[in-house]
Amino acid sequence: MSSTRWPFPSRLLPGINAAVSRRVRLWARRRQGADGPVTELRSRRIYILPTGVGLVYALMTFAMLLGSMNYNNNLSFVLTFILIGIGFVAMHQCQRNLVGLEVSFAGTEPVFAGQSVQFRIAVANRSKSPRHRIRLYLDDLQSDIKDLEPGDSGIFTLPVTAERRGRVTLERFGIRTLFPFELFRSWAWLHMYPKGIVYPRPAENAPPPPATQTALGHRQHDARGEEDFAGLRKFHSGDSPRNVAWKAYARTDQLLSKQYAGADMSSQWFDFDAIPVEDPERRLSILTRWIIDADRTREDYGLRLPGRSFPPAHGEAHRRKCLEALALFGLEDADG
């Protein structure tokens, strides 16, 4: 399934091709307006053009028509007209394969800058017949191809590489199909503006985090600290499986985490203003690295940003809150 972009051989006239493609896209955006979070594909926003194979097919049927006329051969007329009829039918079938599908945004997972955001888009088939060979795309980027049974919906993933922290928006994406014969490509553009979060890129060779300030005055990394067993508490996601009280689990069927006196007491503050680095982005990167490391070792940590602070804690929710604050720090929608 190589070049499935535009019917013109894109290798031939790449510049013109891209420009035409862009103009048409912008025209469609103006025409359609922005889409809601759940959008049903109506027929007037579905476009269709022949593919390269389709053009060859058209050329072939035309040659066959000339041949049939020349030889006045009624059976080859039959063959030619069946093939032309199939071309017509294929065109309608191809477009109908998209009409009525329901497209909605199904979320993303936050990633670090440099990784790609996986935009998940759900496509639901609310009709009585299966939909075949559906694929989502964004420029050259393509999702898997899926068949959707009646009443089913499929999740398509579009990975968008994020270079910078902050919110990343999927400005547009397309849904298309070549079904049934790859003679035609029908597609629709969607502008749902789904957003994803990109955390700052974790700094490489970051300076060590500031010393832990604890009531007992010893550092978190004291191996002895884990031996001071203090009791059990309910398991939170993010707790290390090493600390799960498996025996208690076998007894009570409840996941419990062992709590250690040393760990519980320690807390460190990661302070944006205390990092002796000029570049604020670099500071954010360093903070990101510290948070990741602290989270990995299940230490408590607090985050202090100018104007905001998160008291020491640990766990998945705390980590996400902190990283999100770093991701959006200084950006206009920091609170959003």
Partner 1 sequence: MARARGTDGSLLASLPWTLLALAFALLPHVPYLPVWITAALLGCAIWRYSIEVRRKPVPPTLLRAALALGCFLGVLYTYSTVSGVGPGSALLAIMAALKLLETRQRRDQFVLLFIAIFLVMSSLLREQYLWSLPYLVIGVILIMTAWLKTAADDAEPLRRSLGTGSRLVMYAAPLAVAMWIFFPRIATPFWAVPIDTGTAITGLSDTISPGDISKLSKSDAVAFRVNFEGRVPEPKDRYWRGLVLHRFDGRTWAGIPEPRIASGALKNIETRGAPVSYEVMLEPTRQHWVFALDIPYHWELENTFLGPQHQLARVQPIDQRTAYRAVSYPDYRIDLELHPYRRNWYLELPEGRNARTAELARSMRAAAASDERFIAAVLTKFNEEEYHYTLEPPPLGSDPVDRFLFETRRGFCEHYASAFAVMMRAAGIPARVVIGYQGGELNPMGNYMIVRQADAHAWTEVWLQGEGWRRVDPTAAVAPERVDAGRTGAMFDGSAAAWGLGAPSRLLHNLVLTWDAMNAKWNEWILGYGPENQERFMAWLGMDDPDWRRMLLTLVAIVTALTMLISLVLMLRYRPPRKDRAAILYGRFIRRSGLKPATGESPQAFASRVQGETALPAATVRSITDAYLDARYGPPDPGVLHRLESHIAAL
Among 100, 114, 302, 315, binds partner 1 (CB under 8 A): 100
Q: Which is nearer to partner 1, 64 or 255 (CB)?
A: 64
Does 7 contact partner 1 by CB under 8 A? no
List residues bridging with 154 in a β-sheet: 123
Helix axes 280-296 and 316-328, enclosed angle (nearest 10): 170
Most distant pair of Cα atoms in the chain: their distance = 102
Q: Which residue has the tokens 């040393």?
A: 262
Q: String of b and e for 269-295 (b: at least 16 CB within 10 Å)?
A: bbbbeebeeeeebebbbbbbbbbbebb
Tell me how far CA of residue 132 lies from CA of 40, 57, 98, 181, in angstroms: 17, 21, 9, 11
Shortest approach of partner 1 to residue 82 CB, angstroms? Answer: 4
Does 180 contact partner 1 by CB under 8 A? yes
Q: How many residues belong to the site for partner 1 (CB under 8 A)?
A: 51
The pair of three-digit structure tokens given for residue 54, joined into one six-digit string: 């389709």
Q: Which is nearer to partner 1, 92 or 233 (CB)?
A: 92
The pair of three-digit structure tokens given for residue 303, joined into one six-digit string: 């985050």
Q: State how far the Cα of 217 lies from the Cα of 215, in Å rounded to an integer.
A: 5
- Of residues 52-91, which lie at the interface with partner 1 (CB under 8 A)? 53, 56-57, 60, 64, 66-67, 69-86, 88-90
Per-residue interface string for the shown chain with partner 1, residues 137-176, x marking contact by CB under 8 A: --------x-x--xx-------------------------
Sign of the dihedral defined by the CA atoms of residues 214, 219, 225, 226, in that order: positive
CB distance 295 to 287 below 8 Å? no
Q: Which is nearer to partner 1, 99 or 255 (CB)?
A: 99
Give 280's Cβ-side CA count (13 Å radius). Answer: 10
Does 179 contact partner 1 by CB under 8 A? yes
Does 11 contact partner 1 by CB under 8 A? no
CB distance 286 to 206 below 8 Å? yes
Q: Which is nearer to partner 1, 89 or 331 (CB)?
A: 89
Among 128, 234, 242, 247, binds partner 1 (CB under 8 A): 128
CB distance 107 to 158 below 8 Å? no
Does 44 contact partner 1 by CB under 8 A? no
Does 2 contact partner 1 by CB under 8 A? yes
Does 47 contact partner 1 by CB under 8 A? no
Q: State how far the Cα of 176 lies from the Cα of 51, in Å rounded to an integer.
A: 12
Note if the bond before 50 is cis, omega within 30 degrees: no
Shortest approach of partner 1 to residue 58 CB, angstroms? Answer: 12
Shortest approach of partner 1 to residue 31 CB, angstroms? Answer: 22
Q: Which is nearer to partner 1, 93 or 212 (CB)?
A: 93
Does 96 contact partner 1 by CB under 8 A? yes
Does 17 contact partner 1 by CB under 8 A? no
Q: State how far the Cα of 245 lies from the Cα of 241, in Å rounded to an integer.
A: 9
Shortest approach of partner 1 to residue 63 CB, angstroms? Answer: 9
- Of residues 270-329, which lie at the interface with partner 1 (CB under 8 A)? none
Positions touching partner 1 (CB under 8 A) are 1-2, 53, 56-57, 60, 64, 66-67, 69-86, 88-90, 92-93, 96-97, 99-100, 126-129, 132-133, 145, 147, 150-151, 178-182
